[in-house]
Every structure is written in structure tokens, then in C-alpha cells.
Amino acid sequence: MAFSVLHFLYCSMILSPFVTFSVVAQTKANIVIGDSHTAGSSSSPWLVSSPSGDFAFGFLPQDATPDQFILCIWYAKIQEKTIVWFASRDYPAPKGSKVEITADDGLLLTAPNGDQLWKSEVTVRASSAVFNDTGNFVLQDGGSNSVWESFKDYRDTLLPSQTMEKGQKLSSKLRRDDFKPGKFELFFQNDGNLVLHSINLPSKYANKNYFETGTIESDTLSAGKQLMFDRSGGLYVLRENNQKHNFSEGGSGVSVSTTEFYLRATLNFDGVFTFYQHPKGSSSGSGSWTPLWSEPGNICKDNLAEAGSGVCGYNSICNLGDDRRPICNCPKWYSLVDPNDPNGSCKPDFVQSCAEDELTKGKDVYEFEVLTDTDWPLSDYVLQKPFTEELCKQSCMEDCMCSVAVFRLGDSCWKKKLPLSNGRIDPTLNGAKTFMKVRKDNTSLVVPPIIEHKNNRNTMIVVGSVLLGSSACLNLVLLAAICLSTSYVFRYKKKLISVGKVETTVETNLRCFTYEELQEATSGFDKVLGKGAFGIVYEGVVNMGSVTRVAVKKLNSFLLEEVQKEFKNELNVIGLTHHKNLVRLLGFCETEQERLLVYEYMSNGTLASLLFNVLDEKPSWKLRLQIANGVARGLLYLHEECSTQIIHCDIKPQNILLDDYYNARISDFGLAKLLNMNQSKTNTAIRGTKGYVALEWFKNMPITTKVDVYSYGVLLLEIVSCRKSVDFEAEDEQKAILTEWAYDCYTEGVIHDLVENDQEALDDKKTLEKLVMIALWCVQEDPGLRPTMRNVTQMLEGVVEVQVPPCPSQISVQYSLV
Ligand code: ATP
Ligand code: MG
């Protein structure tokens, strides 16, 4: 190494792990061009300490990722890791990164691959550097003039003898251990006022100040000139007329000793600017940072971001802690969007949407969680006054836009909408009652994945058509819901991937459960949802970041041998499919004796129960059309849009499930391959269900996606008529086979018979006719005549006209064979 080493500083190894990083520090009188240090190189640690040894400059490993380093300045003699300056906000430096003193770029930080991570901008060529006892690292020119110094490259902390000029600012970290730029700034405005405000990232739009020194005077002489942190520990704004304006009321009465204490003022990641002291001199470096004063007085109340989330994230509630720092909490039945960011936004653990409310009208879905003195002051959309508490609750309950109602002042009712911003507990609200609308059935918590990357176009068309057909107000809510769901899906996906990485042996985003986990999740396989050809399905609840209701399918043990080989390969394929009309496979479990599949729980049952429940009224025509479209889109995805083509082989109303929004979601796709079903042509190997299978299964013909098209045709006729494909109890024999009866109705011009007295369908005769014609094309005996699912969706959407279908012919043959 090129520098002259004055002495080595040995710190006790028995101190905290942090102190062990500074095992060897060098005090440097002068650091010269070309000096360098590599992150993580234990043989030659280049930890420069200031002459007194109080500060060190070098690489510190990050707590969470010890292979990543921060180039920074910290207190070298105390146990508590306290960084006062750091080089790059954007990237931590991977092990092997190098910092070098260069003439042209000053301090230059490069990654092991040579990429430049950060550099100090020098005004003039640098020729040496010094590290002062104040904690200031200074680059100098040949005449020992400063060309760059850490004291002028502001981060989040000020130290004694540091000053700040107009136009400069401190900027908080993003989180406690995340050095990226955060959302709070201490800004010395050009008008002399020193202010605190939050910014909206990434644009940095500044919200209203939540603290000001007010050093802006009409008389320019008394306006602020400089922020001073003097050597004796005073922190104040120096006015143009050289008078001092104490930064904080609290600060004026505090006397501090810089000989006995380290002092620092830090803009914390949560927006509070705090002045701290720490005892010097203890050989063990013990003691802690004590806040002497801080601003603002009550950040939860003082900060009101008119165009941002406020101190905490959206839907969160800010409560002031003893140290005047905010504590952010999610309301009950809400959880953190990012579990690693306690000050971040909260999302409801349940679904609330006008679209769903319309469908579930009459059902008592919500209840109120009552909070006191809690408010989101800028999230109102309506004020009702005079109003009673009872009316206030009722009007929120019946209003699908309403998420919270605040009743206050004896006669005023503010209704509020999501996302809620600036949430706070404020005792001065004097007994305000806050009614939060939450779902009664708090276990139906999962927001179904709505939007899939690959299908953005399709989704946008759907969104577009939904939006065109609804009111402007409803549109906003729908858009918000869609945006929320989209981001949720992203996060959810991410969460799944990360969970999967830790726990699964399969390289996929599926979670690998242990048998015990699923046993516990289903309370010992207690509640049976249903039984199918391949096993029993149980209801359960698992924790996937938030409480998630699931359906667990326990595959019959006689299948095990067949399943064994291909199980994980096939799971990988299924695990990669994401579409809003498919039931997501969330995970699996594999033991010697058992194979289990864990699916999203579908709260509204099967299409079979919706269509064929004779006791209920027929579901609305509109809903049935929506379901028919959904199934077609799901199938199109399986056939053409996912990475590996999947032929379902068992499309029937029992395998179409309905989610919280009554979206059609195809289940059991991929099972045909997963269960190693030989898609051959023998009767025993028929994967499918009587009444829905195409003739290829019985003939010596290849099995293609057209078998699903056939089944879809049958399903479509069932959706139209709300009756089963085969009904030997039908009063008229002619009607026993739905496909045949449908063709008869079509040719005889009595399509209306198919829907009986379903007025909605009769009023929409054109669509009715179109659906029947599409279905008849789908059930053609000759697979070559059947459309593809893409054609089907185009016909459904009206992009392509439907031609007159020929007679499907020989349709009945299959029933005699099965
Ligand atoms: P097949 O074996 O041909 O698929 P099936 O669909 O009737 O026939 P299963 O798939 O085993 O049989 O499902 C049995 C029942 O379990 C379904 O009818 C449905 O009521 C319920 N079920 C299945 N998956 C879910 C799910 N993800 N959410 C809620 N209920 C489900
Ligand atoms: Mg099924």
C-alpha cells in the first residue's frame, strides 16, 4: 500500500459484531492519489480513521446481505453502528468493489466488473485527501484547498461544524437499512426558510411543509442565510443580520458538551429530524444515542400530504411514539403490502368492489370495525350534515364506494374512499367514531389474480368494454380496483417466488408444503369441498404472506405410481400458467404415500351449482355471458398463449369455478398430463366426462385442442339453457341430448325454446342466436370443422361473423359408447 501508516487502531474483538469490522483502522495524515481499498478484503483492510479515531471511513457490510457493502463514514469507537455519511444511495457495493482516490474523479467507487457505482464530483483535479476529526473526508488540490468534502455532499445527517447553504438539503433514507433516497427532506429554501417536507417518489414532487423555521422575513436582513451546527453543539439558522434562530424551541434550552458527547442531527427515515447525543470515552463503546430534541412535535398530525400517502403508507394509521417518532399500523383486516416495510402501505385482506356488491346484493357481506379518534382527513368524498350516527353507518354500508365513515361533532358524517391517506390517531378529535367497513367472513381474503402480463391486450379489451358499459363514477372505482389488483398480483407473484425459492425443490413459483403443514391448514382434512375422479378436495387456510383460503386436492393413492415420474415436471408447467380465468395452483406436497395440490379457494362454487340449482332463479343472462366469455378466454390461453400448450380434456361445469367476483375460473387444467393419462384412444383411458367428450376419444384419431372446443360447445349450450347436457328425465325424449335438441331448435327457428321464459335472454335474441350458432360449430363431429378457441373468442366478441353451422351429425353415437 502506498500510504504512510501512522498507527493501527485495534478495537476489542469482544465488542459488538459491528466493531469487529473496524479491527484494523489506519489514521492517515495524508491520503494520496492512487490509494485504494477493496470491499471485503480482510488481508488489507483500508479503514481510515480520523486522527482521534472517532470516525472511520471505508466499507461496511450490510446487515441483511453481508456480501454487499456500503462505502461510508461511521463512528468507530461506539458499539451501535451509526453511519453518518454514505457514498452511493443507489447501489450497495458487491464484495470486491474498489474505492480509489483519483485525480480527475476524486473518490471513485467501482464494482468488481469495472462498472462505476459512484464518484465524487471534483471541481478541480485532486491531489490528496484528509480525514478530519470532525468526520469530514476532504479531497484537496495541490494548494490544500478543498475540492470536494463529505460535509458538502449531504445525506441524512449533520455533524458539529457542518453547515448548510440555501438550496441544499438532507434527504432521508428509504428505510432503516435501505440507503436509497427516502420520502422526506430537510430543505434550506432559497428564501431562507428551513423546512421539512415529504416528496412523492420518484418524481420528487414536494408536499406541503410539515415544519418551518419561518426564517423568511419581509425584511431581508432577518431572513435565514445559513444553517449552522457549531462546534459547541448549537444548531441554528444564522440570519442575514447574523442573529441566531434556534432550529427548534426544544433545542434552545438544551446544553450539550462536545467533549463528553458525540452529537449528530439526523433526518430519520420516518421523517422526524432528531438531535442526538452519545457518551464518549467508554472503553467498551457502550451507551446509546439519546434524542435531545426533535421536529416536528407530532409528525402524525403536522404532516398532511395533500398529494401523497402521508407519514405512513396508504391505508395505514400513524400513532406517535414516546420518542416523537411515528409508529405505523395497518387497521384490522388490512396487512402490509410489503411485510418488510412497516411504514409502508396496507392493503385490505378482503375484496370490496362495486362489481361484486352488485352481484351479492341482499347478502350481508360487511360489518364495521369501530375505531376512536382515528382519521384520514383528506380521503373524504362526501360530507353529510346533519346526520345521525345510525344514518352515517347505514349510508356507508349501502354505498359500495365507501370504505370508512367518520362520525363527529354530533351531526357530521364524512364518507371516505380507498386508498386512505394521512391516517393518524388524533386525540383532539374528541371522541370521533370511525367506522371501517370490513368483510364479515374474514377468511375469504384473497384477491384473485386479474391481470396477466402476456395477456395485457386482451385484458385491456375486457377492461375497456366493462368501462364503456358503466357509469363514470363506477369506472373510477373499477379502474382503481384493477390497478390495486394488478399491483397486488405483482407483489403476490413476487412473494410466491421468494417463498418458493426458500422452500421448494422445484424451480417454479409453486410453494412446496409439508404434509403436516397441509394437515394443519385443513384442520386434519376436516372440511370436504367435494369429491372427484382423482381425489377429495378439502378446504383450508395457509399463510402465504397473508391469510389465504385454499382448496387442497388429495390425489387418490392408486394414481401414485403413474404420477411419480412426471409429477414435478408437469407441476412446473402448471405453475407457470397465470390467467384471470384459471384457478391458480399455489403449491403442492409430495411424500412417499401422498400427492396433494393446493389451489386458490373459489368462494362462489362451481358453474354446475350456479346453472343447475333448480331451486334458485336462473343466474342473470349478463353473468352467464360473462362466464361464457371467461371460459373461452381461459381455454384460448391454455391452447395458444401459455408457454406449453395444455389440453384440458375435462371441460365441464364442475370444473369451472367462480371467484369472489363471479369470474369464471377453469380448474384442473394440466391434470390430464400431470396424472400421466395416456391420451390414447381406448375407452379406459378416456379423460373426460360423459356428455362432454368428443368423438376422437372413441376413434383412432389424434387428441388435439379440438376436444376442448367440443366440450366448450356443450358447456356453452348449458350456459345458455341452464340445463344439463344429458337429461334422460326430460319430459320430451327429443330434448334428452342437449346438442341435438339445440340443433333442432336452431333449424326449426325456435331458439327461444332453449331459454324457456328467461326474459333477459329473450330480449337479447341476437346474442342468444349467436351463442347457439357458435356452440353448434364447436360440437361438430369432424374436429376439422370445429373452430379454434381463438375463432370462438373472435365470434363471441363480434370481431368475426358466425356462419350458418352445418348439422353436427352422429352426435348421439358417443353416449352409446360411454
Ligand atoms: P373431476 O375429477 O373430473 O375434476 P370434479 O371437478 O367434480 O370432477 P374435483 O375436481 O375433485 O371433482 O372437485 C370436487 C369439488 O371440490 C368441486 O366440485 C368443487 O365443488 C370443489 N372444489 C374443487 N376445487 C376447488 C377450489 N379451488 N375452490 C373451491 N372449491 C373447489
Ligand atoms: Mg374438478
Q: Which CATH number does the domain housing residue 544 bear?
A: 3.30.200.20
Cα dihedral 250→76→120→171 (10° resolution):
-30
pLDDT at 687 over 70: no
Nearest residue (CA) to ligand 1, atom 11: 532
Q: How far, in Å, is the centroid of ligand 2 from the Cα of 655?
A: 4
Q: How many CA atoms lie within 13 A of 307 on its CB side?
A: 10
Determine what percent of the chain is predicted with pLDDT higher than 90.
Answer: 55
Given this model, what pLDDT does residue 560 score?
A: 61
Q: Which of 444, 446, 529 to mutate to test the pocket of ligand 1 (most atoms within 8 A of CB)?
A: 529
Ligand 1 near 185 CB (within 6 A): no
Ligand 1 near 586 CB (within 6 A): no
Question: For all residues of the chain together, what is the average pLDDT?
Answer: 82
- Closest ligand 1 atom to the C-alpha of 689? 3
All three cell numbers of 501: 425459492
Instruction: Give the catalytic positions in this structure.
Output: 650
pLDDT at 667 over 90: yes
**One domain, residues 199 and 274:** yes
DSSP 47-91: -EE-TTSSEEEEEEE-SS-TTEEEEEEEESSSSS--EEEES-SS-
Beta bridge partners of 226: 165, 238
Q: How far, in Å, is the centroid of ligand 1 from the Cα of 537?
A: 6
Is 394 within 8 Å of 452 (Cβ atoms)?
Answer: no
Q: Is residue 219 included in any domain, yes or no?
A: yes
Given this model, what pLDDT does residue 28 score?
A: 55
Beta bridge partners of 369: 436
Is 393 within 8 Å of 435 (Cβ atoms)?
Answer: yes
Q: State the CB neighbour count (10 A cutoff) for residue 420.
A: 25
Q: What is the per-residue pLDDT across 372-409, written as a single tens digit (0 to 9) for each? A: 889 999 999 999 999 999 999 999 998 989 999 999 99
Q: Is residue 803 included in any domain, yes or no?
A: yes
**One domain, residues 149 and 41:** yes
Q: What is the per-residue pLDDT across 296-319, written as a single tens digit (0 to 9) for each? A: 999 999 999 999 999 999 999 999
Ligand 1 near 599 CB (within 6 A): yes
Q: Is residue 376 included in any domain, yes or no?
A: yes
Q: Which domain holds residue 369?
A: 348-439
Q: For residue 257, report the phi and psi dihedrals to the nearest 5 degrees.
A: -115, 120
Q: Are strands 98-102 and 83-86 parallel, antiparallel or unpaired?
A: unpaired
**One domain, residues 73 and 183:** no
**One domain, residues 640 and 691:** yes
CA distance 289 to 271: 18
Given this model, what pLDDT does residue 636 score?
A: 95
Q: What is the per-residue pLDDT across 605-620, written as a single tens digit (0 to 9) for each? A: 999 999 998 777 899 9
**One domain, residues 629 and 590:** no
**One domain, residues 589 and 721:** no
- Least confident piece of the model among 56-60, 521-525, 542-546: 542-546
Is 719 within 8 Å of 624 (Cβ atoms)?
Answer: yes
Given this model, what pLDDT does residue 729 score?
A: 80
Maximum mean pLDDT: which of 69-78, 478-487, 692-701, 769-778: 769-778
Q: Is residue 305 included in any domain, yes or no?
A: no
Determine what percent of the chain is predicted with pLDDT higher than 70.
Answer: 81
Q: How far, in Å, is the centroid of ligand 2 from the Cα of 532?
A: 6
**One domain, residues 367 and 263:** no
Q: What is the CATH classification number for the domain harbouring 418? A: 3.50.4
All three cell numbers of 260: 463528553
Maximum mean pLDDT: which of 23-27, 65-69, 143-147, 268-272: 268-272
Q: Of 600, 635, 659, which marks where a domain is finished?
A: 600
Number of domains in the chain: 5
Q: How far, in Å, is the centroid of ligand 1 from the Cα of 452?
A: 24
Q: How many CA atoms lie within 13 A of 780 on its CB side?
A: 16
Cα end-to-end span (Å), the chain? 86
Given this model, what pLDDT does residue 26 score?
A: 55
Q: What is the per-residue pLDDT across 358-369, written as a single tens digit (0 to 9) for each? A: 655 545 678 899
Ligand 1 near 551 CB (within 6 A): yes
Ligand 1 near 484 CB (within 6 A): no
Q: Is residue 471 included in any domain, yes or no?
A: no
Name the residue among 288, 269, 347 with its Cα closest to residue 313: 347
CA distance 343 to 317: 9
**One domain, residues 354 and 434:** yes
Q: Of 559, 582, 600, which marks where a domain is finished?
A: 600
- Starting from the CA of residue 583, give the closest ligand: 1
Q: How far, in Å, is the centroid of ligand 1 from the Cα of 362?
A: 27
- Least confident piece of the model among 138-147, 383-392, 670-679: 670-679
Given this model, what pLDDT does residue 684 score?
A: 35
Is 11 within 8 Å of 23 (Cβ atoms)?
Answer: yes
Q: State the CB neighbour count (10 A cutoff) for residue 565.
A: 10
Q: Is residue 426 included in any domain, yes or no?
A: yes
Q: Of 439, 460, 495, which marks where a domain is finished?
A: 439
Neighbours of ion ligand 2 (CB under 5 A): 532, 655, 668
Q: How far, in Å, is the centroid of ligand 2 from the Cα of 651?
A: 9
- Closest ligand 1 atom to the C-alpha of 536? 11
User: Per the annotation, where are the binding residues for ATP?
Assistant: 554
Cα dihedral 148→151→153→155 (10° resolution):
160
Ligand 1 near 470 CB (within 6 A): no
Q: What is the per-residue pLDDT across 569-601, written as a single tens digit (0 to 9) for each? A: 678 778 888 888 999 999 999 888 888 999 999
- Segment 186-214 shows an average pLDDT of 94
pLDDT at 41 over 80: no
CA distance 299 to 323: 11
- Closest ligand 1 atom to the C-alpha of 602? 28
- Segment 446-475 shows an average pLDDT of 31
Q: For the whole model, what pTM was predicted?
A: 0.54
Ligand 1 near 637 CB (within 6 A): no
Q: Which of 606, 649, 674, 818 to mutate to test the pocket of ligand 1 (most atoms within 8 A of CB)?
A: 606
Q: What is the CATH classification number for the domain harbouring 57? A: 2.90.10.10
pLDDT at 742 over 90: yes
**One domain, residues 102 and 172:** no
Given this model, what pLDDT does residue 616 score?
A: 74
What are the percentages of helix, strand and coil residues in the chain, rounded to 5?
25, 30, 45
- Closest ligand 1 atom to the C-alpha of 671? 4
Ligand 1 near 602 CB (within 6 A): yes
Q: Is residue 772 included in any domain, yes or no?
A: yes
**One domain, residues 564 and 522:** yes
Q: How far, in Å, is the centroid of ligand 2 from the Cα of 453?
A: 26
Nearest residue (CA) to ligand 1, atom 23: 537
**One domain, residues 422 and 564:** no
Q: Which carries the bigger pLDDT value, residue 59 or residue 7? A: 59
Q: Is residue 313 included in any domain, yes or no?
A: no
Q: What is the CATH classification number for the domain harbouring 619? A: 1.10.510.10
- Segment 43-57 shows an average pLDDT of 75
**One domain, residues 625 and 655:** yes
Given this model, what pLDDT does residue 805 score?
A: 95
pLDDT at 261 over 60: yes
Ligand 1 near 270 CB (within 6 A): no
Given this model, what pLDDT does residue 563 score?
A: 58
Nearest residue (CA) to ligand 1, atom 9: 532
